[in-house]
Every structure is written in C-alpha cells, then in structure tokens.
Amino acid sequence: MLKGMPFDVGFVVFPRLTLLDLAGPYEVFGRVPEARLHLIARDRRPVRSEHGLTIEPTAIFAEAPALDLLCAPGGPGVNAALDDEATLDFLAQAGAGARYVTSVCTGSLLLGAAGLLVGKRAACHWASRQFLTMLGAIPVAERVVVDGATITGGGVTAGIDFALRAVAEIFGEPTAQGIQLMMEYAPAPPFESGTPETAPAPVLEAVRDRLRAQQADREERLARLAAHRKIVPHERGAAGLE
C-alpha cells in the first residue's frame, strides 16, 4: 500500500448489530491516516444497535463507494439480516470488488451467506462457529483467522485484534503497534471466563441457555438459506473444527 493513498473501509450496519463488533475495528481503522470510513446501510434511517445506541449511516447500498476493505459485524440482528436479500446482495457485490473481505463475530455468517467464504478458513463467535460449515466455510477456533485476503475475527472483543492484524497486514506492523499503544490496548481481564474452555461449567451452561432460542432460530434460517442458494456444506462438518 502506497503511503498517502486513500483506503476506503466500509462497515455494513443493520438493526441489532453488536456495537463493539463495529466500534472496536472502527476505532482502530479510524487511527490510520489513509483510511476513509463508511457506515453503509440499506437506507438512511438511524440503525439501532443491540442495546439501543443508534448509528447514523454515511452511505446506502446503492450509493456506496468502491471499497478497499469490507467489514461485516455480527450480533443478534444477524438472524434477520440472513433473510434480507438486499444486505446479502450488497455484501456479495462489495466483497467481489474489495481488496480485503473481513468480519467480526457472527458477521462471518453474513459473509458466508453472501457466498464469500466458500472453501475459506474463518473465525466466528464460539457459540455459532459450527454454523460456518453450512455455508461452505471451514470453522477455525482462533481469535483471528487470515486466509489470503479474507480476515475474520472471533467474538465481539476480537474485533480489535482483527483490526490491528489487518492494519499490520496492509500498512505494516509499526503502524499497527503505534495504534495499539495509542489505544493502550493491553488486555488484562478480571476473570478467566472469556472462552468456553476457561469459563466455569455453570457459567457456560447459563450462557448456552440464554442463547438457545437465538441459536435455534439462526440454524433454521441458515439451513433455509443454504438450500435456497444451493450452498454445499463443507465436508469437514462441525466435527472438523480446527
């Protein structure tokens, strides 16, 4: 990447997205001098995030600029977005022209639904990672997964890690390290319960119970979408998680 050349980053925004999925990488890319950030939505109405904070789109699908990097955040709203042909069509079109195709959390399910992850290794939130196989992708149990020009992050807070990794790939490690320092990003969580492997069993079960209805709905929508779009599931299946 030539220094000083503009670099257009587009985030697809939709109702009930998880705010930190968007805000984490937005904060990182916003500190890159060459980056121009776009919040792209179906229409110009403010988008209400998962917990109520609203986002003002800066562009709509029909008027979005050509993107160097496309990013899909995740959240509970992914379920409805899976049934929104306009969102999936935009992702497919923008992704085909972008230099980098990226996601955070369950945003990788939207990339997969748009046909952008077939045969690709990808990350996702731990509770939905297994669904990637339904979309022809290879689920990987890592915080950030790089497969060529496709870069995907795990759940929610991994958006910061993903974005720093992407900045390092595109603009060089010194730039990424400087941004990390400016953000004072040096995680030291108060509890070792941030993954299914480290969380106490009662905590893990409580979270699984909380997500059960959402996950069942998500699986049903994905199965219907995969059949409609004739997406061939990846042969490794959920048991093939790397």
- Single out the residue of 41, 51, 52 nearest to residue 12, CA to CA: 41
Where in the sequence numbering do the catalytic residues fall? 105
Longest pairwise C-alpha distance within the chain: 51
- CA 54 to the chain's CA centroid: 19
* Burial state string for 31-58 with b = 16 or more CB within 10 A and e = fewer than 16: bbebbbbbbbbbeeeebebbeeeebebb
Show the tokens assigned to 149. 């020009």
Contact 217, 79 (CB under 8 A): yes
The amino acid that residue 41 corresponds to is A
Q: CA 223, CA 231: separation in Å to the nearest integer?
A: 10
Show the tokens assigned to 174. 């010194």
| Alpha-helical regions (H) of 123-200 | 158-171, 173-182
Contact 182, 176 (CB under 8 A): no
146-149: long-range contacts at Cβ-Cβ below 8 A with a sequence spacing of 24 or more? 147/120, 147/121, 147/122, 148/120, 149/99, 149/100, 149/101
